Structure 1
Amino acid sequence: MTVKEMTAKQLARRVIEQSELFILDVRNEDAFADWKIEGKNIEHLSVPYFGLLDGVEGILDQIPADKETLVVCAKEGSSVMVAEMLSEEGRSVSYLKGGMKAWSEYLEPVRIGDLKDGGAIYQFVRLGKGCLSYLVESDGEALIVDAARMVGPYETFAEEKGLKIKYLADTHLHADHISGGRMLAEKAGGTYCFPPKDAEEVTFQFQPLEEGKGLTVGRTTVSVNPIYSPGHTIGSTTLLVDDQYLLTGDILFVESIGRPDLAGKAEDWVGDLRNTLYATYKELDGKLIVLPAHFSNVSELGEQGQVNAHLSDLFKNNAGLHLDEEEFRKAVTENLPPQPNSYQEIRETNMGKLNPDQEKQQEMEIGPNRCAIHG
């Protein structure tokens, strides 16, 4: 039988459509335990490549013969070799092109909805990393929020739609992924916007993203109003787009809330985080559609792969919004999940202090997002 190639884009459709898939992951056990491809109808078998050098006969009884098998490794090479061995045994098998590195970097654009006076907002879903970024377009202009370091997909999208990228903005100083905002601003001739209270150590110029100083994209009725919302970082800033969409950064997610410890300030910032979630957000219109910068579980994905919810529904269903003050403090300062891989280096890269090469950037970002606390 012929070994087939599956791209990250094809795999993304499988995940979004909840298709059945059996994955043989041949990375080391610790890499698999830390991070894997997840989906509602995905099954896994973890067998390190070095245990298969003499053949795959010993694992055939663990691989269903009636399902397509996808072999996955870190970069592709090992998965091709194992896939060829399975094919020789008569199995229907594919390998993931580019391996987990490609899966980590793939962005799936999803249309979220219309703006009131023309235009639309799109979410770029980074399924392999749990990151979410946004493009707001109106009358030939675009704003991109919390861009990933892979700027090509945004450039291609804007070019296909005939959009001029006017603004790039980060809602906060990211600690789990390297921002592409500054790079894309430079390439596209746009203005990079950043919260000044997160900028004490940055080495670059930016337009302050401050409450009371809105951004206009396209038609004058399409406004982006920053709302100062500290807690995840001291400068975290929520963006209210067109009085319809609430881009919450890493403060509020669909099934969880943000963590305040990635700058070593958990005890200092816990009060800010609680005030943002329980007071600032509580005063906003419950009909607003919350669009976060991350998701943790595939259960948060909608039918098209989008991640969003009405603010009122989150106040009903998100356990992190139903804690008394002591419970809240414990939840966000004790028994926290592991911190993101290389998060200090990522923070310094996003400050402009480090300039790692492409391979190092990939290495720094490998792994899941860990910006959330589940109440």
Structure 2
Amino acid sequence: MTIQKMTAKEVAKIVLNNEELFILDVRNESDFNEWKIEGNSVEIINIPYFDLLDDINPALESIPDGKNVLVVCAKEGSSIFVAEQIAEADRSNVSYLEGGMKSWSEYLEPVRVADLSGGGELYQFVRIGKGCLSYMVLSNGEAAIIDTSRMIDQYEQFMQEKGVKLLHTIDTHLHADHISGGRALAQKYSATYHLPPKDATEVTFNYEKLEEGNDIYVGNETIKVQPIYSPGHTIGSTSFIIDNKYLLTGDILFVESIGRPDLAGLAEDWVGDLRETLYSRYKDLSKELIVLPAHFGKVTELGEGGLVSGRLGALYKENPGLNIQDEGEFRKTVTENLPPQPNSYQEIRQTNMGKISPNEEEQREMEIGPNRCAVHDK
């Protein structure tokens, strides 16, 4: 029996469509426990590759009869070997993940959010293996990208398909969990790169200041983007309202959680800003706004087609981070109830400042692992 390969795109479609998928992950146990492929209809087991080198039977005994199985490893080599052994035993239809978890971490799934009133479109790019979300506004042959991931070729391909020219790349804040592709993409297409000035005090490059009142326009009919200064995750964090309907919150507010204030080592200083943004600035906004965050933390946040969103009014009722009325309790929650900090977050910040220039493989290693930008209620 021959083995098949599945691309990250194919696996993402299965996960987002809530189709059944049985996965045998052959990475070591610590890597598996930290980060894995998840989905509402995903069944996954972990048997390390080295436990299967001499005897494939532990895997065969763990695969339910009649199930198609996808074998996953870090970069693909080990999964091919294991998949071949399973196929030789004639147990089931077996595939391996092309490029391994590396490719899973880097795949972006474009999800259409809506038509915009000026004749344009808004797309959310779901980086399902990392929990990152980025956005593209399209109108009259022009485009802007917000919170760009470093895999700029996937945005380029999408823009080529849509026949649009890039005018703006925008980062809501200086990212600490992933390397921004905004500056590289802007340089390549002579577009304008925007960054909040309070997050840019140490950057080594020129940028356009992202300040409240400096609206950004895309297309002849104009889609209005209104930055709202919303510190807390970083001192410069800036939100946007697009088309008077969509609130892009960066890493300040997520669907099921809130942003963490500690990735620059200033949690005690920034926790007050975070509370002010969440409990005052956002409270003054229309409850009908649709929140579009820069990350998601759990697969339960993925909606229809993979879209991550929530109505602001509903989040104020349901999001635990928006319902801590006591200020002392809030401060304790967001300074003590934190997950581990992202891998290499200091180096990622340095890269996003332009202070260091790691090569592609080094960037990939720096980013590997789960999203850790949120404070999750335990």
Instruction: Sort the TM-score into its range (normalised by shorter chain).
Output: over 0.9
Q: How many angstroms apart in 1 are the aligned matches of 2:373 and 2:58? A: 39
Paired amino acid for 2:7: T
**4+ residue stretches of structure 1 with deviation over 2 A?**
none
Deviations 1:3-49 (A, max 9, x none): 01010000001110111111111111110011000001111111111
1:326 shift after superposition: 1.5
Contact 2:118-2:221 at 8 Å conserved across structures: no
Aligned residues: 375
Q: Is the 8 A contact 2:140 2:221 kept in 1?
A: no
The answer to whether the 8 Å contact 1:221/1:242 transfers is no
Please tell me whether the aligned partners of residues 167 and 192 of structure 2 are also in contact (alpha carbons under 8 angstroms).
Answer: yes
User: 8 Å contact 2:119–2:221 — kept in the other structure?
Assistant: no
Q: Which amino acid aligns with 1:274?
A: R
What is the aligned partner in structure 2 of residue 13 from structure 1? 13
Q: Which moved more, 1:59-68 or 1:346-355?
A: 59-68
CA distance in 2, matches of 1:210, 1:133: 20
Matched AA of 2:344? S
- For 1:241, the equivalent position in structure 2 comes to 242
1:180-213 CA distances to partner (integer Å, 9 max, x unpaired)? 0000001111100000000111101000000011
CA RMSD of superposed structures (Å): 0.8
2:301 aligns with: 300
Identical-residue share of aligned pairs (%): 65
Q: Is the 8 A contact 2:123 2:135 kept in 1?
A: yes
Distance 2:356 2:55 in 1: 44
Report the secondary structure of 1:291's partner residue.
strand
Structure 1 distance, partners of 2:221, 2:269, is 39
Distance 1:68 1:353 in 2: 47
Paired position in structure 2 for 1:103: 104
SS in 2 for 1:304: helix
| Superposed CA offset, 1:224-266 (max 9, x none) | 1110000000000001111111110000000000000000000
Aligned to 2:327: 325
Residue pair 2:139, 2:221 contacting (<8 A) in 1 also: no
Q: Where do 5+ consecutive residues of structure 1 fail to align?
A: none
Question: How many Å separate the matches in 2 of 1:148 and 1:360?
Answer: 15
Contact 2:337 2:376 in 1 (8 A): no
Contact in 2 for aligned 1:122/1:135 (Cα 8 Å): yes
Tell me the equivalent position of 1:121.
122
Question: For the Cα contact (< 8 Å) 2:120–2:139, is it kept in 1?
Answer: yes
Q: State the partner residue of 2:58.
A: 58
Query: Where do residues 1-375 of structure 1 align in structure 2 (5 Å cutoff)?
Result: 1-90=1-90, 91-323=92-324, 324-375=326-377
Cα pair distance change 1:159/1:59, threshold 3 Å = closer
Distance in 2, matches of 1:105 and 1:327, equals 37
- For the residue of structure 1 that corresponds to 2:145, the secondary structure is strand
**Alpha-carbon separation, structure 2, partners of 1:147 and 1:227:** 19
Deviations 1:140-171 (A, max 9, x none): 11110000000011111111111110000000
Any conservation in 1 of the 2:257–2:320 contact (CA below 8 Å)? yes
Distance 1:37 1:311 in 2: 29
Mapped partners of 1:195, 1:220: distance in 2: 26
What displacement does 1:58 show? 2.8
- Distance in 1 (CA, whole Å) between partners of 2:213 and 2:86 is 61
Consecutive unaligned residues in structure 2, runs of 5 or more: none
Cα deviations by residue, 1:41-90 (Å, 9 ceiling, x for unpaired): 11111111111111311332211122111100000000000000000111
Other structure's SS at 2:305 match: coil
Deviates further, 98-107 or 46-55: 46-55
Name the aligned partner's letter for residue 269 of structure 1. W
Q: What secondary structure sits across from 1:226 in the alignment?
A: strand
Q: 1 CA distance for matches of 2:359 and 2:270?
A: 33
* 8 A Cα contact 1:124 1:134, kept in partner: yes
The answer on whether the counterparts of 1:55 and 1:85 sit within 8 Å (CA) in structure 2 is: no
Cα drift, residue 220 of structure 1:
4.5
- The one-letter amino acid paired with 1:242 is D
CA separation of 1:224/1:281 partners in 2, compared to 1, >3 Å: closer, same or farther? Answer: same
Following the alignment from structure 1 to structure 2, what is the Cα–Cα distance between the partners of residues 369 and 230? 20
